[in-house]
A = this chain, B = another copy of it.
């Protein structure tokens, strides 16, 4: 097979060995002569998958005692609503930082229960920076933010320091760098970047923070429902959880989050250095807030677009078209993307400069 350099923003590249194992499990899982997807989720074999996946999350992120790990459905988009139901008493106020599309959607769902106080926003500059220097109101029930903004290409390099509970949508950079889970009341993340395929959403939640809103929470939106049933209140998304488990095993095998963090930094440095060095390209966002996951950049001369597009396509590069709200290009460099692929892109950028610079 021709190697494709997959810079897709998500669903995104997964490790080859994970794909191979997942493919095998779809025809014969654990030598049962049955597919992973045609056995009961309550079978010993699948319960073990769920437990392994949970334990790998705990191990890789050093999850402290008192936190629960859940694999649910609905994406972070349903997480926005679950956040409100589980943490925001009806009519009360929560603080939100607006750093783009996903943060805005989270804000909208908070209004279902109470009031979302947007204490900081980078909307004035099309979300091309991470707000700083804002005050955090002590009477808000929590502060919610989006750690990495896939569309704009910004990332919190330092998390807010807050006296009120922190809740974070980490969909696009969880497992890419070390974090201190103990700083958060809840972290949630759609799987389809660094954890696995689309179809499951991870929740890491401080159990003692739940059950305090007095809200009448619908069963499926109540995190306590799922904690009581070990993420099996209803049939879980078996395949997505299994592939997540494989991906986390792969990450553990590499040496864990501290190792991948270094590799991700090297990949990001390689690409951003070229963007800054090469006169034909320009980064989209403030340098200090650049995402190590999603690098957004544009051509300095738009009339060369067809020429550049032809060159990266010829190099078997895939998925670097920018999001329609930003334009230009977006190279996503998630955990499973090898440095070699970034080098191929950088080489194309250099050749492009030689030819048209």
* Copies of the polypeptide in the assembly: 2
Contact B73 A75 (CB under 8 A): yes
* Interface: A78 (CB within 8 A): yes
Distance in Å: Cβ of A17 to nearest Cβ of chain B: 11
CA distance A234 to B199 in the complex (A): 11
Residues of B within 8 A of A216 (CB): 112
Contact A219 B108 (CB under 8 A): yes
* Binary contact readout A54-88 vs B (1 if CB under 8 angstroms, 0 otherwise): 00000000000000000001111110110000000
Binding-face segment, A28-36, A118-126, A178-186, A269-277: A28-36
Contact A14 B38 (CB under 8 A): yes
Count class of interface residues, chain A: 35 or more
Distance in Å: Cβ of A251 to nearest Cβ of chain B: 16
Residues of B within 8 A of A22 (CB): 26, 37
Contact B8 A199 (CB under 8 A): no
> Taking A234-B75, A237-B199 as contacts, is the C-beta distance between A218 and B112 under 8 angstroms?
yes
Distance in Å: Cβ of A141 to nearest Cβ of chain B: 18
Residues of B within 8 A of A116 (CB): none
Residues of A within 8 A of B (CB): 1-4, 6, 8-14, 19-20, 22-24, 26-28, 32-35, 37-41, 73-78, 80-81, 105, 108-109, 112, 190, 192, 197-200, 216, 218-221, 233-240, 243, 318-319
The contact sample of 25 A-B pairs, CB cut-off 8 A, is A4-B33, A8-B39, A11-B38, A11-B40, A11-B238, A14-B37, A19-B27, A19-B35, A19-B37, A20-B27, A22-B37, A23-B23, A23-B26, A34-B318, A37-B197, A73-B199, A74-B74, A80-B219, A190-B234, A197-B238, A198-B238, A198-B239, A199-B200, A239-B239, A239-B240
